[in-house]
């Protein structure tokens, strides 16, 4: 797997870093991979590599660049405390702006010729939902997005396909939150939702291999349909 670090133009003469994983057999599309609260960790780079294995040009931006650039924390007690402190300083609307900057960056790459999707975990899962609600990206995939239920007033902005993935045992997205999300979104938008039995928070980066494989299969099927539909719709106009 070939990879590199790009500098993404944020406007105003500012740039931020993004890990880029290049597919050996490109399918023409790209995915912006949004980090958990721990930064662009080996786990997140691994998710980008996984998307590249499946044919996507994958880009994982450093979303904390305005607060503490270059962070890659572990799951130790001390690092968890640092991560929770960082996320308290983080402006989510800046995050959506950075996603848009990443999409613009991807469109300039010679390896790219299709559509750009957004996929995120934890904090990144919430940002993937917010991107969908603001029309940023051709499709969005959210894994255990924390706090989506507090932002359902933005759901009317959803225009593209959105996939939601939750772990049954996730205390950060408990049943009450999932029920609220389902009630607000069911039947109103192009939303697909999956609950993974026995899975906890963080299952897509460090969970059971069989659960990861199932979620990966579903994600690829969703993106294949969503991005091909976008291309078809564009071609018909």
Report pLDDT digits (tens) over 43-73. Answer: 999 999 999 999 999 999 999 999 999 999 9
- The whole-model pTM stands at 0.93
Nearest Cα to 229, choosing from 137, 134, 120, 115? 115
Tokens of 36: 């958990």
Tokens of 193: 């939702």
Q: Work out the mean pLDDT of the chain and round it to a whole number.
A: 93
191: pLDDT strictly greater than 60: yes
Task: Give the span between the Cα atoms of 168 and 69, in whole angstroms.
Answer: 33
187: pLDDT strictly greater than 80: no
Q: What is the mean pLDDT of residues 82-86?
A: 89
184: pLDDT strictly greater than 90: yes
At residue 57, the 3 state secondary structure works out as strand
Task: Give the span between the Cα atoms of 106 and 224, in whole angstroms.
Answer: 18
At residue 96, the 3 state secondary structure works out as helix
Confidence of residue 202 (pLDDT cuts 50, 70, 90): very high
Q: What is the pLDDT of residue 229?
A: 61
pLDDT-wise least confident of 9-13, 140-144, 147-151, 186-190: 186-190
pLDDT-wise least confident of 107-111, 112-116, 199-203: 107-111
- Maximum pairwise Cα distance, the chain: 54
Tokens of 215: 């979620």
223-236 pLDDT, tens per residue? 999 998 654 444 44
Active site residue: 29, 43, 105, 201, which one? 201
Phi then psi dihedrals of residue 34, to 5 deg = -105, 130
Question: Does the active-site annotation cover 170?
Answer: yes
189: pLDDT strictly greater than 80: no
Q: Which CATH number fits domain 2-236: 3.30.1330.90, 3.40.50.720, 3.40.50.1820, 3.30.300.30?
A: 3.40.50.1820
78: pLDDT strictly greater than 50: yes
Active site residue: 170, 194, 208, 237, which one? 170
Count the neighbouring beta carbons within 10 Å of the beta carbon of residue 217. Answer: 11
Question: Does the active-site annotation cover 201?
Answer: yes
């Amino acid at each position: 797997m070939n990879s590199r670090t790009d500098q993404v133009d944020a406007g105003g003469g500012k740039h931020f870093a993004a890990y880029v994983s290049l597919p050996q057999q490109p399918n023409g599309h790209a995915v912006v991979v949004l980090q958990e609260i721990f930064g662009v960790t080996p786990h997140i780079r691994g998710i980008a590599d996984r998307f590249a294995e499946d044919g996507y040009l994958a880009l994982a931006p450093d979303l904390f660049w305005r607060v503490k650039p270059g962070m890659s924390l572990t799951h130790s007690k001390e690092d968890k405390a640092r991560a929770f402190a960082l996320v308290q300083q983080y402006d989510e609307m800046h995050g959506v702006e950075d996603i848009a900057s990443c999409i613009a960056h991807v469109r300039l790459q010679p390896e790219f010729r299709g559509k750009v999707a957004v996929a995120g975990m934890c904090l990144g899962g919430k940002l993937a939902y917010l991107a969908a609600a603001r029309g940023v990206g051709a499709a969005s995939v959210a894994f255990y997005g924390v706090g989506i239920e507090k932002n359902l007033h933005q759901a009317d902005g959803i225009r593209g396909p959105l996939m939601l993935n939750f772990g049954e045992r996730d205390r950060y997205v408990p049943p009450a939150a999932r029920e609220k999300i389902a009630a607000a979104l069911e039947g109103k938008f192009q939303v697909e939702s999956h609950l993974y039995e026995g899975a906890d928070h963080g299952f897509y980066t460090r969970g059971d291999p069989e659960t990861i494989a199932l979620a990966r299969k579903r994600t690829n099927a969703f993106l294949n349909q969503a991005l091909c539909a976008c291309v078809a719709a564009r071609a018909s106009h």
